[in-house]
Structure 1
Amino acid sequence: MAAEPSLFARVAQWASCQAGRSWTFVAAAAVVVLWALSGPFFGWSDTWQLVINTGTTIITFLMVFLIQHAQNRDTQAIHVKLNELIRATHGAHNRLIALEDQSEEELAAAREEMRRVAEAAEAARRLVEVKR
């Protein structure tokens, strides 16, 4: 049974979904157009400019947290899925499971090992092609 997501997780999920919809972009573009069209009525004043600057800054600030939350969640899900594929694949290197939790040096060593394995496999493939 899955645990109930926190209030933040539910709000962030909902807000992320809404922010990614086409109507949200259209609404944001309409706000900018209305703001620009209202310029002459406010005499292109500093307050008129401050309204859009403040609004966009606040929205951008909040969106950073929503985007980071969504990215963290997606990354964790992908890691779990990849770990399961590694675990279930015969001949796979189980030490690669949870590699994202290892040190930079261990990650670099694993990347180098995989590069060598790929190069060896490519060399073997070429050898087979030459023999044909």
Structure 2
Amino acid sequence: MAGHRLTLAGGVAVAVGWIATGAVSGFQTWWYLYANIIGTLATVLILPLVQHSQNRNMRAMQIKVDELIRRARPATI
């Protein structure tokens, strides 16, 4: 779902809405505070998600490489 086009479109819509809210309110202090909090939380939550995905992909690749190595070795009896 994270790589889907609609997810990107939704993110852009949220960003445009947030900027519009700031423009209407005159970019007050609370707007900057919420923007910083949301940015920090998004970073903190996305980093473990990306790391988990990379670890899962690395494990899958390691299993495939191990299988290729096992099949490439000549059978010793």
TM, length-normalised to structure 2: 0.84
Residues 1:70 and 2:56 are matched in the alignment: no
Residue in structure 1 matched with residue 4 of structure 2 by the alignment: 21
Report the Cα offset of residue 42 of structure 1: 1.6
- Structure 1 vs Structure 2 CA RMSD: 1.4
Q: Which 4+ runs in 1 deviate beyond 3 A?
A: none
Q: Measure the CA separation in 2 of the matches of 1:50 and 1:31.
A: 17
1:53 to 36, 47, 51: 36
Question: Does 1 or 2 have the higher relative contact order (CA < 8 Å, sep 6+)?
Answer: 1
Letter in 2 for 1:87: R
Report the Cα offset of residue 81 of structure 1: 0.5
Tell me whether 38-47 or 23-32 shows the greater mean CA deviation: 38-47
- The 5 Å alignment of 1:26-41 reads 26-41=9-24
Return 5+ residue gaps in structure 1 as ranges.
1-17, 92-132
